Amino acid sequence: MAEELNGVIIINKHKGVTSHDIVFKIRKLFNTRKVGHTGTLDPMAEGVLPVLIGRAAKAAEYLTAEDKGYTAEIQLGITTDTEDTSGKILTKSDTLPAKNDFFEACKKFTGDIKQIPPMYSALKVNGQKLCDLARNGIEIEREARPIHISAIIPEEVDEKAGIYKMDVSCSKGTYIRTLCADIGAHLGCGGAMSKLLRTKSGNFTLDQSHTISELEKISYEDRCRLIIPTEELFSDCDKVFLSDFYSRLAKSGCEIYQSKIKTGYPVDEFVTMWDKKGFFALGQVKQYEGGTAIKAVKLFVI
């Protein structure tokens, strides 16, 4: 019996397909049904899409919170129903701001801000995807959500045409389409996203990514060699090494008191849990009556 594949492969998603289309392709290329992804990319978007294979798919819920990096292009002077240039044009403006005005506007959208999610998004409200409602001509009120944009680095592409590029570093839940629309609204001329490339998702970058066409051209064995170990998904977490006794307890669902294993991590911190066989779980520090303890919140072994 062949050994089960487990780990992550970083895909450089191409334009015109959904994230689910990529998952379907990976299932065929690696001959497994156990495939998931983190951080949906719109069909017009390209770039980094971590795809989780085997037991690594269990990690999805813990990875969507990671920071992202994007290179986006904005077209000033128009607004659309989708907030990108694939949508129906709603308004046009013949008056475009000067380059310096655009650069100054970008500064106002850095730091802790609030953003109203677009109707054309996979976000669910009362169990329904906003995009499904939008396609049926229904628009509902959405609450503004807090996001953090740590940097926007603007660059002129064509000042006369109102086209600019932006390198954006941001928190989870940031809609770059909405950022473009909001900057355009701030400038009074409107704006829509015309291109999007995700350059970073958590610790994974474009340099580590592979296109579907590249994977299709190599052997199954060579594809498997590109799979990154599951533990790399949590490379920012400290490692906690446990004896056979404590690892058996952890795998059975028991909490491991920090006083027993001489650790002192703060409550809510995540750590990776290891034994002599290697990585086996993602753990989180929790408060109990007897003190703080590490509990395995997701096991990655049978």
| Residue numbers annotated as active site | 42
Q: Which of 44, 70, 47, 48 is nearest to 154 (CA)?
A: 70
Pull the structure tokens for residue 178.
Answer: 């909405």
User: What residue type is assigned to position 136 of the chain?
Assistant: N
Say if CB 175 and CB 117 are below 8 A apart: yes
C-alpha 172/C-alpha 76 separation (Å) is 25
C-alpha 111/C-alpha 145 separation (Å) is 14
Strands (E), 3-161: 7-13, 35-37, 46-53, 68-76, 78-80, 89-92, 111-115, 124-125, 128-129, 145-158
SS3 240: strand
User: What residue type is assigned to position 243 of the chain?
Assistant: S
SS3 7: strand
> Which residues contact residue 289 at a Cβ distance below 8 angstroms, ignoring those fewer than 6 apart?
none
DSSP code, position 30? H
Q: Maximum Cα–Cα distance for the chain, whole Å?
A: 72
Pull the structure tokens for residue 80.
Answer: 């659309």
| Signed CA dihedral, 192, 197, 199, 205: sign only | positive
How many angstroms separate the first and last alpha carbons of the chain? 16
Neighbours of 11 (CB within 10 A): 24
